[in-house]
Amino acid sequence: MLAGAVLVFHGAAASGAAAGVATAAGHGAAARLAQICRSAKSPGTARTLSRAVQNALSGRTGIESVAVYDRKRKLSCAVDTGRHYDSASVVKVTILSALLRKAQEQGRRLTARERGLAEKMITRSDNAAATTLWNAVGRTRLNRFLKLAGMRSTRLGANGHWGLTQITASDELRLLRLLTSRNSVLTTASRRYVLDLMGRVIPEQRWGTPAGRPSWMRWRVKNGWLPRLGRYWRVHSIGAFDGRGENYLIVVLTQDSPTMEYGVQTIERVARAVHRTLNPRSGSVTGDLEMPLEASDGSVPADV
């Protein structure tokens, strides 16, 4: 689990919900803010970021979960990180990671065909490629990877519907931490391969957590965008960021947004708050990113 308590903010009730938690605990506003982000090394930054994240979520319609981890400051933020969401295309990073683990256990590299499918799946969010690789890895090895990665709350989608895999912000942060640090699950070469593809996502899919980052910062991202039964969007973004001594991870999952654009805006409000707080003296930040069309990522059939 993240090193911090969890606050539950639900759309327009965000401010009231946070106040209710604080009142029940009897700690007041300062303690409430400290509960969102914590850092023994940089407590001032943690308080500032707590306030910034709360402001970013305040008044938003729908449900949101946020997880942040900053290696430099040993700082963690957690907002409702145990809540489950339909994964949409975000699960494609898990599919690729499980494929790489399978290849490692078999003592081989990915085949040319596997590499071609992986590139399409991550950089263009190709669903046919995702289905092929999901089937190739198989549920047994996918579950094995989840166990090895410590992603114990993630539940694979049934009946081949990988886009309905149930994910949490906490588990998605665990996956990003696995991909960005040495570990016994994935080799350095495997980790670099996943991150390289996440850093080559096509321009129209670079929205979300990269918004507001300093222009010099290296980014890796994977997004998901899915309306269920033609409404109530699930819009997600996971991202890793580093450069000039900075090294941090952002996960934002949303549900029941009235439109895709609204969900993207919610994510980018949080992302800008994080980038701005962790890079207060950065003289140049990225502007508005290309806004996607109001169309599903296709990770789940429209009639399911």
Given the DSSP bridges, would you call strands 63-70 and 75-79 parallel, antiparallel or unpaired?
Answer: antiparallel
Cα gap 87→231, rounded to integer Å:
16
With 0.85 as the threshold, say if the pTM is over it.
yes
**39-79: per-residue pLDDT in tens?**
999 999 999 999 999 999 999 999 999 999 999 999 999 99
- Region 30-37 average pLDDT: 62
- For residues 9-33, give the mean pLDDT: 37
Taking the C-alpha atoms of residue 272 and residue 250, their distance in angstroms, rounded to an integer, is: 11
- The pLDDT value recorded for residue 302 is 80
Is residue 89 assigned to a domain?
yes
Does 53 fall in a domain?
Answer: yes
pLDDT of residue 284 exceeding 80, the answer is: no
Instruction: Collect all residues with Cβ–Cβ distance below 8 Å to 282 and sequence separation of at least 6.
Output: 214, 216, 275
* 193-215 tens-digit pLDDT: 999 999 999 999 999 999 999 99
| 289 belongs to a structural domain | no
Whether residue 56 lies inside any domain: the answer is yes
Average pLDDT of the chain, as a whole number: 89
User: How far is the C-alpha of 206 from the C-alpha of 171, rounded, in Å?
Assistant: 22
Contact between 83 and 188 (Cβ < 8 Å): no
Q: pLDDT tens-digit profile of 106-159? A: 999 999 999 999 999 999 999 999 999 999 999 999 999 999 999 999 999 999
Total number of domains constituting the chain = 1
CATH number of the domain within which 69 lies: 3.40.710.10
Domain that holds residue 225: 11-278
What's residue 292's pLDDT? 65
Report if residue 283 sits inside a domain: no
pLDDT of residue 207: 97
In a domain, 21, yes or no: yes
- The residue with tokens 């400290």 is 34
What is the maximal distance between C-alpha atoms in the chain? 59
